[in-house]
Amino acid sequence: MSFSTLGLSDPLLRAVSDKGYTTPSPIQAEAIPAVLKGHDVMAAAQTGTGKTAGFTLPLLHKLSKGSLAKPNQARALVLTPTRELAAQIAENVEAYGKYLNLRSAVVFGGVKINPQMMKLRKGADVLIATPGRLLDLHQQNAIAFDQLEVLILDEADRMLDMGFIHDIRRILKTLPKQRQNLMFSATFSDDIRQLAKTIVNNPVEISVTPRNSAAVSVTQWVHPVDKDQKRHLLAELIKKHRWEQVLVFSRTKHGANRIAEFLEKNNIQAAAIHGNKSQGARTRALADFKSGNVRVLVATDIAARGLDIEQLPQVVNVDLPEVAQDYVHRIGRTGRAGATGQAISLVSADEIHLLQDIERLTQQLLPRSLVEGYEPKTPLPESKLRPPAKPKKPKKPQGERSASQPSTHQSEQRSPGGNPANRRRSSSKKRGPNRRPE
């Protein structure tokens, strides 16, 4: 199968060809025709399988057939949970739509709102937004939705995890009832299906991978190690194996800073990315990492979803995540679009319960490998594979908040386990050989 068989227009096929893509991924092969036919869609596929192109290409095709957006209006709205993902989708829209006469805009918090308001005066055929900033702009009459034709929720499960449910419901009230609705996500939990009942109508359901699974192209293993030796082991692994591009995950913002500083002292170029960094600093760190100027990017879970880093070979968990599902999203940064990757977790004895939760979720025991000179003084207990847990109602999220966030709503970057003292007080409700495109 080729893209030319999916019903896309010639300008879009040219843009796809320019990027070197020839064969649609399974999610694209199923989603693109369904969207073109006007169906509501619920699509689940593990990260790295091309969900973004799966909705961007047919969306641009449909919009190119209609009238352009009027001033301060949007014809299609793409909601995302994080600023980085919003920026990435905007790049995809621009790349695939370069031969079309369509306008797009991206809005998110952490940066000045006035330039965004100025751009929206011209109207946006495609508007990519995080929920908090979108509500701010709507309240200031900078954007309206009388022309809205399509609503897309990307990473819908993550938006619920990060506490955006109230924001989403408020946004839905501002939209016309007659519209096409698309929900794209890595997984569809019971909570997501409850939300879907209020959004989609007789949707086409698409699922191309088992729930809670990582890509088969990702090799996973565990290095047991004492907690105080993790940074030393990380530096050793990077130097020994000559890793040139490594995405490292830390559970906390302070931990991410400490890891990056330690690596720098050991002559390994590193940068940290988390919610206390300004949007400019985060954008620069990601750009430097993609270009190779930074060898190691140390991130909290805000970077676990949606970051598009081509051919990323290694992901290292210095800390295991508190939520087992986040492990799947973290390691999904590697092994994308058919490439191979490695996911290494540095696990201390006090994290055995987190390791067991991950193994229980994925229904596989992660192989262990001791590193000479870093054998733990406190051995990592053996784990046994238990049946999958019944779904639990997610806890009230306590998320990261950017120190530079000027929005009157809560920050777009929320992450379970954050400090509730950092949350903004508000009288309003909480918001709670073929290549394939990403």
**Alpha-carbon span 44 to 192, nearest angstrom:** 11
Where in the chain do CATH 3.40.50.300 domains reside?
Answer: 3-207, 218-362
Q: Which overall architecture, per CATH, does domain 218-362 show?
A: 3-Layer(aba) Sandwich (3.40)
pLDDT at 124 > cutoff 60:
yes
Please compute, for residue 225, the number of CA atoms within 13 A of its CA located in the half-sphere on the CB side: 27
pLDDT: which is higher, 334 or 66: 66
Least confident of 136-145, 163-172, 215-224: 215-224
Mean pLDDT of the chain: 84
Give pLDDT, residue 414. Answer: 43
> Considering only the top CATH level, what class is 3-207?
alpha beta
User: What is the amino acid identity at position 252?
Assistant: T
Q: How far is residue 414's CA from residue 353's CA, in Å, rounded to a whole number?
A: 24
pLDDT at 328: 83
pLDDT at 400 over 50: no
| 330 or 228, greater pLDDT | 228
Please give the full DSSP string across 82-150, using - where no structure is assigned: SHHHHHHHHHHHHHHTTTS---EEEE-SSS-SHHHHHHHTT-EEEEEE-HHHHHHHHHTTS-B-TT--E
Beta-strand ranges (E) seen in 173-313 are 180-185, 204-207, 218-224, 246-249, 270-273, 296-299
pLDDT grade for 339, boundaries at 50, 70 and 90: low
For 318-338, what is the mean pLDDT? 80
What distances in angstroms separate CA 315 from CA 194, 244, 252, 297, one per listed residue? 33, 12, 17, 10
Report d(CA 294, CA 297) in Å as an integer.
7
Question: Which whole-number Å values give the CA distances from 286 to 29, 232, 242, 292, in the listed order?
Answer: 30, 24, 21, 10
Q: How far apart are CA 310 and CA 289, in angstroms?
A: 11
Find the mean pLDDT for residues 167-185.
Answer: 94
The tokens of 22 are what?
A: 């020839």
How many Cβ atoms from other residues are within 10 Å of residue 265's Cβ? 11
pLDDT, residue 392, reads: 52
Q: Are 126 and 60 in contact (CB under 8 A)?
A: yes
Residue at token pair 């988390």: 274
The confidence score (pLDDT) of residue 366 equals: 94
pLDDT tens digits, 367-394? 999 999 999 999 999 988 766 555 555 4
Q: What is the pTM of this model?
A: 0.65
Q: What is the rounded distance in angstroms from the CA atom of residue 303 to the CA atom of residue 306?
A: 7
Q: Residue 103 and residue 101: Cα distance in Å, rounded?
A: 7
pLDDT at 125 over 60: yes
CA-angle at 362, arms to 383 and 371, nearest 5°: 50
Range in 45-59, 244-258, 341-355 with the lowest mean pLDDT: 45-59
Average pLDDT, integer, range 138-148:
97
pLDDT for 410 equals 43
The predicted-structure confidence for 24-61, as pLDDT tens digits, reads as follows: 988 899 999 999 999 999 988 666 678 889 999 999 99
- Do residues 62 and 149 touch, judged by C-beta distance below 8 A? yes
pLDDT at position 437:
55
- 30 HSE (CA, 13 A, CB side): 18
Q: Which residues pair with 185 in a beta bridge?
A: 44
Q: How confident is the model at residue 397 (pLDDT cuts 50, 70, 90)?
A: very low
